[in-house]
Amino acid sequence: MRPQRLFPTFLLLLAACSRPADIQAQPLPSAPLGAAARLAPSDAAQVKLSFAPVVRKAAPAVVNVFSRRVVRQQIDPFWGMFGGMGMSRDRVAQSLGSGVIVRADGVIVTNNHVIEGGQEIRVVLGDRREFPAKVLLADPRSDVAVLKIDAPGEALPVLALDDHDDSQIGDLVLAIGDPFGVGQTVTNGIVSALARTGVGGDESYYIQTDAAINPGNSGGALVNMNGDMIGMNSAILSQSGTSSGVGFAIPAALIKRVVENALGGGAAATTGRPWLGLKTQAVTADIARTLGQDRPTGVLITDVYPDGPADRAGLKAGDQILSLDGEPVDDEAGLNYRVLTRRSGDEVTLQIRRAHGGAQTVKLRVAPLPGGAKDERTLSGRNPFEGASVVDLSPATADSLGLDPFAARAGVLVTKVGDGVAGGIGVQPGDIIKSVNGKPITSTAQLQAVLAEGAAVWRFVLLRDGQELGGQIRL
């Protein structure tokens, strides 16, 4: 697990690939609809009932995941003070987490932070069988990774993904994983909250539970009383680094979509990421008052991408989104989650309130982020961007690099800066080249053509963190 910023006195601890030929189209197991009625214990005999049947069903599919990588470290930092002449040696760094088998052909899900940077990944089953694993997809945005083990002829246990999003606060749940490497451990608790946002990345949308989750539990299963996986244990909020009863799990609906992306080809998680082509902000109490509403509800559209799904459906800045397919939307992360669990091409129904009108229903189709494969080029020659690597800026490219897709309307993005003029004058990765010698730049090919013309004096405009920076250099 690794620390993330959340509140000043707390730590949030976190508990690329083509489709292999041996993976055939196979649907993920789904839990049946119509969960049994939820009833509280009514007598002492019911209180003594055991979770053992649920554990027997779910636990065999929960595995240990070991990630190993070799890092080089300096033996004596003292010599680094004299030109870096100190001796160094290789050190093996290992991380331990959990995972869940979700398909009988050996597809396993875990957290991205469990295997991040791993050069060798191994999976150990509950019966102590051990297999090397390959990464089908590692998605840092959702913190979900999809692995594959080859076990021909072996009967692998599978845990069904309950992606119906019908969990309720107060439901009993079990957390299964390998905390601290002591071996498979089961803890119980309840669903403490749903739709927790703002406690992780920009796609954080968690099930909160008080079932004990500790380092090593990351990637393990959060299961309901039907023995189905409703979430992946991923993080805890703690002052000590151990469980304080505030744990977070990624919902199964998002996990299932990432698995489908992995089996359909790694590019599906980047260029194929679904979106509606709009930006939003939460409706605060102050905004609600200005809108003449008695309480904050929904999210407010602040921008619409030209010719995107929202634009084609007639949505405008100032419209208020109240729900998506009947599910309430209260903040941007919640809306993003609802969209990410849909497939590109799916039709969704938005309940909206117009800026100057009443509530109405709008239907639109989820689409992939615009932009194809990155056309990355490393620039050379006597010009201000010598040594920089650049790509065409599109919403898909920006999103894959963790940037705002709405900033990708014009310009060329700097991805790396090596040796050359660019590094010497302070060009940085993430800069957007807007113009060179008064000519607007819209593609890498156009940028190379402008630079090939040569000049005694170069004038250029960059966009950095939303601010335009002008520069001039004589070469």
* Cα 218 to Cα 136: distance, rounded to the nearest angstrom: 18
Q: Which of the residues 95, 139, 143, 163 is marked catalytic?
A: 143
From the list 411, 396, 416, 407, the residue with the least C-alpha distance to 450 is 411
Provide CB contacts within 8 A for 402, sequence distance 6+.
141
Alpha helices in 100-233 (DSSP H): 112-115
- E strand or H helix at 231: strand 229-238
> Counting beta carbons within 10 angstroms of the beta carbon of residue 102, is it exposed (0 to 12), middle (13 to 18) or buried (19 or more)?
buried
Q: How far is CA 360 from CA 47, 241, 280, 350, 357, in A?
A: 48, 47, 18, 8, 9
Which residue in the list 95, 98, 113, 139 is annotated as catalytic? 113
Please, are residues 118 and 95 in contact by the beta-carbon 8 Å criterion? yes
Residues 6+ apart with CB under 8 A from 301: 278, 279, 280, 310, 315, 316, 317, 318, 319, 320, 321
CB-count burial class (<10 Å; 0-12, 13-18, 19+) for 335: buried
By C-alpha distance, which of 64, 340, 50 is closest to 174?
50
160 bridge partner residues: none
Given 98, 218, 234, 435, the catalytic residue: 218
**Rounded CA Rg of the chain:** 25
The question of whether 113 is a catalytic residue gets the answer yes
The answer to whether residue 143 is catalytic is: yes
Q: Which residues are catalytic?
A: 113, 143, 218
